[in-house]
Amino acid sequence: MSDNGMADGPHGTSPLPDPTAPHASRTYDYHLGGGDHLGPDRALVDEVESTFMPDVKMRVRAQRLFLERAVRYLVEEAGLRQILDIGCGLPQRRMPNVHEIAHGIAPGTRVVYVDANPVAVAHMQALQTDGDLTVAFTGDVRRPEQILGHPQARAVLDFDRPVGVLMVGLLHFLPEATAPADLVARIRRGVPPGSHLVASQVSAELDPRVHRLTEVWARGATPMVQRGRAELERIIDGWEPVDPGVVVAHEWRPAGGDRTEGNAYTVVAVRP
């Protein structure tokens, strides 16, 4: 449930998020125990937690733990040394960030963070990036070619070699009008064979309360869309899921001691 990765400012610039409306990147931070959120963000999460989904923070945490396991898989098992995190959101201070996980396994791994929220990008640049192996810039997932062709992305990543593309907590902030399947296909065409996609999608198939969750989120700055498994499989068409395929977040290669339960489908897939 990170940022929606979308920008609507003039001439392609990204506007600052409305401080009076709940925003995905800030509420995500609140769910995970961070400190970069505002009153409207806390109010929305607290309302959900107190009225119909008391375990909402655990459900979000399950997606974050899936992200951690997926990054370890990309670097440790798939052997990737390049990661592009689209919709990265705010840096986490209580849980490891993508580059921290990757560098703990292979210190030379290159990581590019992209988000439409310029505040999130500024925090990443100030707290997490080094300008060499790890960079962050503002980008719009609806314009994937601009992300893939961005000078900073090109300076850090070698697009002749496989790249791990993260879209965790992003698809459910892309309404059908944005043609998410087309966006994911365009990203697939922009990376070489052997590249991997990591994605998640909240679903009422896994938790009927998600229907009500999307109704509450409709009041915020970043409305949420729920989708079923078949819809997620349609969106990632052309990528080949690795074992165990499309599964609920806590069932994707679970680690010992992980007691969270998710309400999102998750997948790691490779470009053949």
Predicted confidence band at 63 (pLDDT cuts at 50, 70, 90)?
Answer: very high
3-state helix, strand, coil in the chain (%, to 5): 40, 15, 45
* DSSP notation for 108-121: T-EEEEEES-HHHH
pLDDT at res. 35:
78
What's the whole-model pTM score?
0.93
pLDDT digits over 192-241, tens only?
999 999 999 999 999 999 999 999 999 888 899 999 999 999 999 999 99
The rounded distance, in Å, linking the Cα atoms of 49 and 56 is 6
Domain of residue 59: give its range. Answer: 10-270
Q: Is residue 5 part of a domain?
A: no
Q: Are 145 and 185 in contact (CB under 8 A)?
A: no
Residue 4 located in a structural domain: no
13 pLDDT more than 50? no
State how many domains the chain has.
1
Residue 6 is predicted with a pLDDT of 41
User: Does residue 4 register a pLDDT over 60?
Assistant: no
H/E element holding 56?
helix 56-72
Residue 3 is assigned to a structural domain of this protein = no
Residue 256: pLDDT band with limits 50, 70, 90: confident
5-19 exposure pattern, b = at least 16 Cβ within 10 A, e = fewer:
bbbeeeeeebeebee
Mean pLDDT of 19-34: 85
Q: Model confidence over 76-122: pLDDT tens digits?
A: 999 999 999 999 998 988 899 999 999 999 999 999 999 998 988 99
Is residue 82 one of the residues assigned to a domain?
yes
pLDDT above 60: residue 3: no
What CATH number has the domain bearing residue 143?
3.40.50.150
Percent share of the chain, pLDDT over 90: 74
